[in-house]
Amino acid sequence: MKTVARVPQFARGGVFQARVSSRCWSGVTYGAQLSRHYRQIHGDLTVRYRQPLTASTTLGKPLGLRHASSSSAAESDIKRTQFYDFHVEHKGKMVPFAGYAMPLQYADLSHVESHKWTREKASLFDVSHMVQHHIIGPGARDLLMKITPASLDSLKDNHSTLSCLLDESTGGIVDDTVVTRLGPESFYFVTNAGRRKEDLEFLTKEIEAFRNSQDPSKRDSVINWTILDNRALVALQGPASANALQPLIKKETSADADLSTLHFGQCRQLHLNFPDGSSTPSRLLISRTGYTGEDGFEISIPTDSDANLPRRVAELLISNPDVKLAGLAARDSLRLEAGMCLYGHDISLSETPPVAGLGWVVGKDRRDPSSPLSKFNGASTILPQLASPAKTLTRRRVGFTVEGGAPAREGAVIVDLADGKTEVGVVTSGLPSPTLGGTNIAMGYIKQGLHKKGTEVGILVRKKLRKATVTPMPWIESKFYRG
């Protein structure tokens, strides 16, 4: 069986994400708390993702899978994104994260200052470590409908939806993803860098099984999958994002150039203009989305025609005084305030979407067990959980507000407040919220029945019992632009 050699036009880029504050709350140095928090978190991640994540271990020739990358050299344990030199030149504090050297923060702003800058103005994040995929062909829709619970039939062209890759036998979350429909048989989706090896193995297996279920004469063309290693990805996030990006858009058509008509969850393929009068040689895929709770954009940048294009785009964006570079520290605290999950911490294969509080990713048209649309991975487990959560779930992901003192970090045990020792849950993420003036917030899993708003529990923080209250997420108002 031959490998399909044609690279889709999108994959070629033709048409187309330690300074410490001295301010104190409750007698505790807030910046020091966050410094300890990130030493712990990134130390854990370094161990978890130490193994090389080379593409060659997961490629299957019969699948028509291509890596859109010009490099065939062996990768080292710690890889670099297209922005590594750019980060170093801008005094980024580099740390290992998900197998990549990534900026934790930059010298010009502390973590808290960077977080607040994003909430008030705009920040630019390098998210090129994440894995960009393009899948095209007459079987693309059917495959994605099997491995995710998304309502793809109602997803319009150039619209996106947050979803999950699901384990076939358990319905557990293989990874979270954003799926974008580019055309009737064309989809773009992004997965997590820390799950690259597992995701590629999962997708390889699923695609191979899908292809083998087709007529032999059509197997070579039913699905073509490209890993877009030739594209960088940045996230421009914050209330000033649109004003910073709008003047840079090349006005090919008035409708396309106007970002006020590009709403949350939509994308366009646009050129940007440079100060010298030139423009990007290829269109960039600009999606109005992000993982901070703010208005913003993720910009996929092709490098085939200009390897230096990611740097040029980044320099162009930060030339606006309202845009500053930001790193992992701010990105993590921003997403936690927004109630968003981090894979490997807040969600994993052990959780189905309903357990993780993500039942809404299951499309309404996919919930009827008698419908053919309900035939997705893990549906036999997930659909009963959605229908009768009180009877089928033993735990749920919820948010907490924790009384003052040291923050409740990942792994902190949640106990019955009355006796202070009966375990009822565990914290998966927690920190002092910069936006809320240092109030300790956390998310985690708690026993079914204790998940309701206002329920008081205890959390053991450094062997001390702290009172915590179940709190609705997000802690900050989402500011996604909807027109």
Asked if 319 and 432 sit in the same domain, the reply is: no
The average confidence (pLDDT) of the chain is: 88
Please report which confidence band the pLDDT of residue 439 belongs to, taking 50, 70 and 90 as the band edges.
very high
Q: Cβ(123)–Cβ(293) under 8 Å?
A: no
Please indicate, yes or no, if residue 207 is contained in any of the structural domains.
no
CATH code of residue 37: 3.30.1360.120
Q: Cβ(396)–Cβ(448) under 8 Å?
A: yes
CB-based contacts of 209, cutoff 8 Å, min separation 6: none
pLDDT tens for each residue of 219-230 = 888 999 999 999
DSSP H helical segments within 193-327, as ranges? Answer: 196-212, 219-222, 241-245, 254-257, 309-318
Q: Cβ(325)–Cβ(318) under 8 Å?
A: yes
Residue 351 among known ligand-binding residues:
no
Asked if 122 and 263 sit in the same domain, the reply is: yes
Token code pair at residue 227: 């890993």
Tally helices (H) and strands (E) across the chain.
13, 23
CA atoms within 13 A of residue 103's CA, in its CB half-sphere: 30
Q: How far is CA 229 from the centre of its chain?
A: 17
pLDDT tens for each residue of 50-80 = 232 223 222 222 334 444 433 333 445 899 9
Please indicate, yes or no, if residue 457 is contained in any of the structural domains.
yes
pLDDT reported for residue 42: 40
Looking at residue 81, its amino acid is: T
Please indicate, yes or no, if residue 102 is contained in any of the structural domains.
yes
Average pLDDT over residues 444-463: 97
Please indicate, yes or no, if residue 137 is contained in any of the structural domains.
no
Asked if 325 and 255 sit in the same domain, the reply is: yes
Q: Is 180 helix (H, G, I), strand (E, B) or coil?
A: strand
Distance from C-alpha of 322 to C-alpha of 91, rounded to nearest angstrom: 19
Asked if 332 and 418 sit in the same domain, the reply is: no
Asked if 234 and 112 sit in the same domain, the reply is: yes
For 85-89, 219-223, 461-465, which range has the lowest pLDDT when averaged over its residues?
219-223
pLDDT reported for residue 400: 99
Distance from C-alpha of 91 to C-alpha of 475, rounded to nearest angstrom: 31
The yes-or-no verdict on residue 303 having pLDDT over 50 is yes
Mark which of 336, 358, 381 sits at the end of a domain: 336
End-to-end CA distance of the chain: 49
Asked if 332 and 398 sit in the same domain, the reply is: no
Q: Cβ(284)–Cβ(232) under 8 Å?
A: no
Please indicate, yes or no, if residue 27 is contained in any of the structural domains.
yes
The yes-or-no verdict on residue 418 having pLDDT over 50 is yes
pLDDT reported for residue 316: 99
The yes-or-no verdict on residue 17 having pLDDT over 60 is no
Asked if 311 and 402 sit in the same domain, the reply is: no
Mark which of 336, 353, 383 sits at the end of a domain: 336
The yes-or-no verdict on residue 40 having pLDDT over 50 is no
Distance from C-alpha of 227 to C-alpha of 401, rounded to nearest angstrom: 40
Distance from C-alpha of 444 to C-alpha of 428, rounded to nearest angstrom: 5
Average pLDDT over residues 433-451: 98
Please indicate, yes or no, if residue 32 is contained in any of the structural domains.
yes
pLDDT reported for residue 255: 75
Please indicate, yes or no, if residue 225 is contained in any of the structural domains.
no
CATH code of residue 422: 2.40.30.110
Q: Cβ(366)–Cβ(149) under 8 Å?
A: yes
How many other β-carbons are positioned within 10 Å of the β-carbon of residue 66? 21
Mark which of 288, 312, 336 sits at the end of a domain: 336
The residue behind tokens 């890889």 is: 79
DSSP per-residue string spanning 26-80: TTEEHHHHHHHHHHHHHHHHHHHT-S---GGGT--GGGTEEE--S--SPPPSSEE
pTM of the entire predicted model: 0.86
For 20-24, 77-81, 377-381, 471-475, which range has the lowest pLDDT when averaged over its residues?
20-24
Please indicate, yes or no, if residue 4 is contained in any of the structural domains.
no
Asked if 302 and 417 sit in the same domain, the reply is: no
Asked if 266 and 404 sit in the same domain, the reply is: no
Percent of the chain with pLDDT over 70: 84
The yes-or-no verdict on residue 189 having pLDDT over 80 is yes
User: Domain tally for the chain?
Assistant: 2
Residue 280: which domain range?
A: 9-128+230-336
Distance from C-alpha of 376 to C-alpha of 420, rounded to nearest angstrom: 42
Asked if 25 and 105 sit in the same domain, the reply is: yes
Asked if 321 and 447 sit in the same domain, the reply is: no
Asked if 248 and 317 sit in the same domain, the reply is: yes
pLDDT reported for residue 77: 85
